[in-house]
Chains A and B, each alone.
Chain A
């Protein structure tokens, strides 16, 4: 269904002010978060930076934005803003010719993939125990992202940080493939006849796609940041936002890549490790994860890396290879490995939802407090600073988690079956998918054990 058929909605989306106001609010919140880490209390649970980044924002991101809007967060993220404003020499709308700054270089071809994002996410994951709990460290990370985005914007064209470096963008892009909304062109022949391609190069109504995507060729959600510039720029009203079934992009065989495959493993593995370290009762594991720089932490880091880059993919390779053997699949091991790893995308998404629900519900009561007393200085802006800590929905949570994880498993199994059905027929579909489904079942059981 095309949402932009509604004139009201289309006009609202094209109008720059609602988006800009959101930008302004997000930027203020982001700067407040960074500031809180540097000047506020070092106690994480009473610091706006920690509470609003890792509880409030994370909750909205992983529970609402990513599953239902794909890259919806990217549409309002403040991190690229200063860089973009400088690039265009303007805050609102396309810049005048010659008004912007920056060298506008092209990002090197060799790096036009998400391997760098895999690395940045993994790095963040290794230090996550400290980042999530220590205000000043969290602020350094956020500030680093801001400055990196700014610096890159002054050297390279468009939103290089977002597309190729941001650790969050990596997994949002992968999971956006499952989202029920998409931005696509209505009629490709119109694009073929279009001269100038203002959706990509910009015109007076909209600046060219900051995500370096040509909307006319957009087939998957992975790299479209929903910034809506192309919607504003297209002179033929050929751009639409559509709803669609969940998981649609997972079933488009073209463009399946190894870097995205590994992203799926990184996310799945990280969910398992985080569940064990943060929500488990094993103090030694927690201590090792937190004591960055010590020998126990090095052991933990090594185990973490071996698990997500070695063990998990190796087990999966075993599973797909067994399936390939059983089904006499003519495809190469690499091909089956890459294509079937997309069946792990829904599994990873639901794993993160289930895992996040746990610490979000447990710590959500800190949100009202941090709103009233962001720095832990004894302020009480909204009268909620005295709110006592209380975990929410502890009785309902385990049932929710079981439901979500089982739903994710079913989704993952169906995805595997459909992927198999792309190139196989009859019982071979079953033989190829069964070991993959078994792998997903084992992971689900592991998550259930760790969370419930």
Chain B
């Protein structure tokens, strides 16, 4: 063979080889595997943002990020979140037993619009339709306007303690304690309302205001478990602290951005100008019932930048979060 021909073959071989290697990989990739690209919401979020699967059939995902650290999680499921690293590929296989629509979302803050990174997995098939029977949230059942201002009817002078409150609550007749401690009372009343109710109780009339607040703290704590509060703390740190602040004071790293982006929109609503709520403010918290808080968390802020967590958290997680939020007002442990 002439050297020139050999030379030309070599170049051809290398270039075609290059193209072939790429083409072969791409062709292989098509077979039933979904390549899911994550980008920050401002650059498009998830691509694709709708994925189709069949019930009982494995869904193979290849997760990659095109910019920063993201992660992949399925709403209201036990599927642990999977980190998605920039420029790297993580393989994940999911199998859905029931057909329905599943939400997937990002769990690692990737900008102020991180929470908007959501997509859906449409799982087809027969089998009992996992119809998410829309359980009407409490605020709807109660016809509660969760956007209206909710000032506290009264505020304590110090930080109420549930441990002290337990002793004082023992002064009440047994059946009454049970009523106050019931989930219904807890969910539908706000703390300053409870304060006024308890203030009016003859059995407690000799107590100081501070002590009555202790009983309120006790009642609130009765509706939580240490595990629940711990879970609430974990969820708060991961999902809420970025805007609401690690100390709950509404001063998170995105607070300023959220306020400036949505402050104008809030002029039509009566609530405070678009800033993330300050959970350390007794005026805000002690006028808010658990049902109201649940509603806010479920539905989000109607243009304020407060995300709607309904598709992401399940019922128990929201109550755990609510339980944690009140700990900004009431002492967790005795001093």
Binding site for B on A (CB under 8 A): 16-17, 20-21, 24-25, 27-28, 31-32, 35, 39, 41-43, 45-47, 90-93, 373, 375-379
Contact = CB atoms under 8 A, between A and B. Distances in A.
Nearest to A39: B22
Interface in B53-85: 62, 64-67
Given A28-B18, A46-B88, A376-B87, A92 B3 contact: yes
A377 B90 CA distance: 10
Contact of A93 (B4, B18, B25, B91): B4
Contacts of B25: 377, 379
A46 B14 CA distance: 23
B91 A378 contact: yes
A110 B273 CA distance: 66
Nearest to A379: B25
A194 to B, nearest CB: 28
A28 B62 contact: no
Nearest to B11: A24
Closest 10 CB pairs of A and B: A46-B87, A378-B89, A43-B87, A376-B87, A91-B7, A92-B7, A43-B86, A41-B87, A28-B14, A42-B66
Given A43-B65, A43-B67, A92-B4, A27 B11 contact: yes
A377 B66 CA distance: 11
Contacts of A35: 18, 22
A46 B4 contact: no
A90 B4 contact: yes
Contacts of A17: 3
Contact of A28 (B3, B7, B15, B86): B15
Given A42-B67, A92-B4, A378 B10 contact: no
Interface residues of B, number: 21
Given A20-B7, A91-B8, A379-B25, A31 B64 contact: no
Contacts of A373: 88
B91 to A, nearest CB: 7
Given A41-B66, A91-B8, A92-B4, A376 B18 contact: no
Nearest to B90: A378
A31 B7 contact: no
A381 B4 CA distance: 31
B64 A376 contact: yes
Given A377-B89, A378-B91, A43 B66 contact: yes
Interface in B1-50: 3-4, 7-8, 10-11, 14-15, 18, 22, 25
16 contacts: A21-B10, A27-B15, A35-B18, A35-B22, A41-B86, A42-B67, A45-B86, A46-B88, A47-B87, A91-B4, A92-B7, A93-B4, A373-B88, A375-B22, A377-B25, A379-B25
A24 B10 contact: yes
Contacts of B91: 378
A39 B19 CA distance: 12
Contacts of B88: 46, 373, 376, 378
A39 B35 CA distance: 14
Contacts of A47: 87
A17 B10 CA distance: 11
Contacts of A378: 62, 64, 88-89, 91
Q: Which among B3, B62, B66, B91 has the greatest number of chain A C-beta atoms within 10 A? A: B3
Contact of B14 (A24, A42, A93): A24
A375 B22 CA distance: 9
Given A24-B11, A27-B14, A45 B4 contact: no
Contacts of A91: 4, 7-8, 11
Given A20-B10, A42-B67, 9 more contacts: A35-B18, A39-B22, A41-B86, A43-B67, A47-B87, A93-B3, A375-B22, A376-B87, A379-B25
Interface in B157-210: none
